Chain A
Amino acid sequence: MSDGPLPAAPATSAAGTLSLVARRVVAALGSYALAITLLLVLLVLTFFGTLEQAHMSLLDVQVKYFESWFVIHDIGFLSIPLPGATPVLTLLAVNLVVGGVVRMRKRYETAGILVAHLGILLLLAGSYVEWLLSDKGQMTLMEGQSSDEFASYHDWEIVVRERKDGGAATEFVLPARRLMDLEPEDTARFASARLPFDVVVSRWHRNVEPSRAGGADAVDGWRFDPRKPEKEAERNLPGALVGLAGKGGGSVRARTLLWGAHGLPWVHEEDGRRFEVELRKVRWTLPFRVTLDRFVKEDHPGIGMARRFSSYVTRTEDGVDAASHITMNAPLRHHGYTLYQSGWGPEGAAPGTPLFSTFSVVRNPSDQVPKYACYVIALGLFVHFVVFKFVRYIARESRRRAAAGSAA
């Protein structure tokens, strides 16, 4: 970054004035002052976000403080307005590009710093790609079970499944993001040319409890009572009123309540076609199947606390099996997906109780970017501090001593 004096420019015309303003803006965007201010704001956001976790789920805190453009943090009756982490990190990236790459003096001695700055930019870019494109969820298996799907921790989707012969089905998945952005008073309509009806979703609540009710609001004697979001967001059980309506704005001809705790889908038959409508955690399909062959847990002597646990799995793809051993520090990586050993249960199980193994499953195109970014940053710092600073210090000292010896 550069805080060097701006070259004097005669502001004798409008163009000159504009040019001066542009230069000052660029200079401000690349300044140390802006960098330090942004880092301080990030520090404050992190501090307030950490405190807020006493009252909100980690997911909600992440959304409120780190995926927002603007946030108001309340301390008692005092409301503190702050920029969210989105503009702060965006400006930080701009600051780094302008001040740390473009405007930085390109000299032999600053090559290391330039490389380190590029490494930091790579880290930021990787984080952005992860935020934008990654899928994160979990897969739980008991020994002998297999699966090629993993489910989101927090996000829910509505699926309309049309049954076909031979156990096959076509699943029409309503976009989770659209659903989860709905407010209770909103109504959303979804359509597909392959469905004989539109799907109308209303009264979407993030966390509900059903109760018996009568009156106009009730559906078949039931209604949903909204509940405060849980402190652990994965515990929320959403609910919605779902109707099947005539295509092209037709009226609703069948409707029901869908709840996250329902064990069965709603079955609707129309024109000899059979549809199942279900509210479920967002699911992603892996391009391979995982079978848990054996789960191993070693306890600390004399107590039930696990010392280490791992899973022996078989990965099956195109009919070909491959054995893998997933441990805490050795995930299974394949086709851009990573399966980490993240848990087991049930906690406190008696000896002999069948255990289950839980894997965190991540699809992250920038999975390895942080590692390579760290290599680049380390290289830059090595070049700057070791190659230029230390070696030149040694050379300078040698010359000074040599000069002192000659003088003596």
Chain B
Amino acid sequence: MTVRFPLFRAGAFALLLTTAGCGGSEVTEIEDVRERGHAGVPAPRSTLDQRMRGEMPGDPHGADPHGAMGGAASSGVAYTWSTPAGWEPLPAAPMRAAGWKVTAAPGTECTFSTLPASGGGFVANVNRWRKQMSLEPTDEAAVAALPTKGTLLGRPARWVELTGTYVGMGGGATVEGAKLVGLVAELPQATAFLKLTGPAASVDAEVTRFLELAASIAPGSGAAAATRAEPPAPAAPFQWTAPAGWTQGPARSMRVATFVPTGAPSSEVAVSILKGTAGGVRANLDRWRGQMGAAPLTDAEFEALPRAKVLGGTAVFLAVEGAYAGMSGGAGAAGSMLLGMALPRPGDMVFVKMTGPAAEVRGEQDRFRAFCESFRE
């Protein structure tokens, strides 16, 4: 039992009582009111379900649950990955950012999720997994001794391997002789979890692909995993001149601006800004190439990309054709083209991306370049 009664709390309590007495009911006046000039872009409307599941509604960089290159938002941070061969993406579900099932092994499923900070603690999460496997909780020493294996989001990940009777979160089927393998990685202000569950033999057969999936998960264009405490990308801190024939579209979450060229009605141009390095220029260009089914850039290809001085920094331009399977969902749309610009600046990264049918986008290349070079403070 503890009785706390510090003097300043006594004062605050007395103040509360006084305030309550004045109003005739127990109402606390909100006195801390802060005016913020730059509070980032407005958050999208979301349902409680979406918030509990960590979904980002309307995220233009968001989930592509059916493509080989996927992406999802969890805790406001977008990720991309390569779905292993023989696996299928699962629809969104509570408490997970993404999920997959092994096509040939019913009941073998993989989930990816992130939580802010330490996610409640490594020990608590290991014990949550142990509970799902009908195992007794373990102690801190045993958890501390868990090995490191592979990487998750580019970070070394702790490896958890459990066998038992899988009961999951409750309400689902019980799997006798089950196995759970999981990876937990510490991010700057979040913790990432990837786990695979199912019959032991199936899980053992998929461990290699599981580790490959883990290694492929990367911060997406909503990236910089450290940014939960940061405000979202700010509203446009610079000006531009839209090319003739480009119409500015309605506001979209996480985007500074969206344009639709009149001559390319099936295409769109998105301008976005992310705090920090957002994973770097090259990683983002490679991610864009991946969305088009192209291989990452070689050193020589990267060096050969056109560059220009924009907003005092060096912008790098990318043009790639292929089957666009990035954000629009569904199978990759053959005959697509992507134009991109990545501009690192102190404190943030500016992205401009145009996608659409190759026949349309090719005709917009000069205007795209002129638009990017029109950026000014």
Contacts and interface: CB of A to CB of B under 8 A. Distances in A.
A262 B26 CA distance: 28
Contacts of B187: 346
Given A174-B30, A262-B51, A291-B346, A281 B229 contact: yes
A190 B43 CA distance: 23
B52 A259 contact: yes
A220 B49 CA distance: 8
A384 B28 CA distance: 54
B27 to A, nearest CB: 5
Contacts of B27: 189-191, 198
A175 B13 CA distance: 12
A97 B186 CA distance: 50
Contacts of A256: 48
Nearest to B118: A235
B36 A64 contact: no
Contact of B43 (A236, A259, A264): A264
A61 B97 CA distance: 36
A221 B50 CA distance: 12
Interface in A150-176: 151, 160-161, 163, 166-175
A265 B57 CA distance: 12
Contacts of A170: 33-36
A207 to B, nearest CB: 8
Nearest to B189: A140
B277 A264 contact: no
Contact of A144 (B28, B234, B276): B276
Contacts of B94: 210, 212
Contacts of A48: none
Interface string A230-251: 1110111100000000000100
A245 to B, nearest CB: 10
B309 interface: no
Interface in A256-307: 256-257, 259-267, 274, 276, 281, 283, 285, 291
B130 interface: no
A356 B153 CA distance: 14
Contact of B16 (A84, A140, A178, A236): A178
A195 interface: yes
A377 B227 CA distance: 46
Contacts of A263: 51, 54, 56, 73-77, 116, 228
B29 A210 contact: no
Contacts of A68: 2-5
A257 B119 CA distance: 18
A188 B16 CA distance: 11
Given A219-B48, A276-B42, A346 B346 contact: no
B29 A192 contact: yes
- Interface-central residue, B25, B51, B124, B227, by most chain A CB under 10 Å: B51
Contacts of B185: 346
Contacts of B106: none
Contacts of A406: none
A237 B52 CA distance: 13
Nearest to A192: B30
B39 A346 contact: no
A212 B48 CA distance: 11
B30 A191 contact: yes
Interface in A176-234: 177-178, 188-192, 194-195, 198-199, 207, 209-212, 219-222, 227, 230-232, 234
Given A146-B347, A170-B36, A345-B186, A191 B28 contact: yes
Nearest to B151: A350
A140 B226 contact: yes
Nearest to B33: A172
A149 B30 contact: no
Contact of B120 (A230, A276, A345): A230
Contact of B47 (A146, A220, A274): A220
Contacts of B38: 167-168
Contacts of B26: 188-189
B154 interface: yes
B155 A349 contact: yes
A141 B275 CA distance: 10
Contacts of A163: 39, 42
Contact of B39 (A84, A131, A169, A175): A169
B250 interface: no
B40 A261 contact: no
A194 B33 contact: yes
Given A144-B344, A173-B32, A263-B228, A257 B48 contact: yes
B43 A265 contact: yes
Contacts of A199: 30
A192 B33 contact: yes
Interface stretch (A22-30, A69-77, A362-370, A389-397): A69-77
Interface in B89-125: 94-95, 115-121, 124
Contacts of B277: 142-145, 354
A132 interface: yes
A59 B127 CA distance: 23
Contacts of B9: 177
- Interface-central residue, B29, B280, B344, by most chain A CB under 10 Å: B29
A235 B347 contact: no
Given A142-B277, A267-B45, A167 B235 contact: yes
Given A167-B40, A291-B346, A69 B30 contact: no
A17 interface: no
B205 interface: no
B144 interface: no
Given A70-B3, A346-B155, 11 more contacts: A168-B35, A171-B36, A191-B28, A212-B94, A221-B48, A235-B119, A257-B48, A264-B50, A267-B44, A349-B156, A353-B154
Interface of B: 1-6, 8-9, 12, 16, 25-52, 54, 56, 73-77, 94-95, 115-121, 124, 140, 148, 151, 154-156, 169, 171, 185-189, 224, 226-230, 234-235, 275-277, 279-280, 344, 346-348
Q: Which 10 A-B pairs have the closest CB atoms?
A: A169-B39, A167-B235, A263-B75, A263-B76, A145-B276, A173-B32, A192-B30, A356-B188, A235-B121, A220-B48
26 contacts: A68-B3, A141-B276, A142-B276, A145-B277, A147-B230, A167-B37, A168-B36, A171-B36, A178-B16, A189-B27, A191-B27, A191-B29, A192-B33, A207-B120, A235-B117, A235-B120, A237-B115, A237-B116, A257-B52, A261-B115, A261-B116, A263-B77, A291-B347, A349-B155, A353-B155, A354-B279
Interface of A: 63-64, 67-72, 84, 86, 131-132, 140-147, 149, 151, 160-161, 163, 166-175, 177-178, 188-192, 194-195, 198-199, 207, 209-212, 219-222, 227, 230-232, 234-237, 249, 256-257, 259-267, 274, 276, 281, 283, 285, 291, 345-350, 353-354, 356
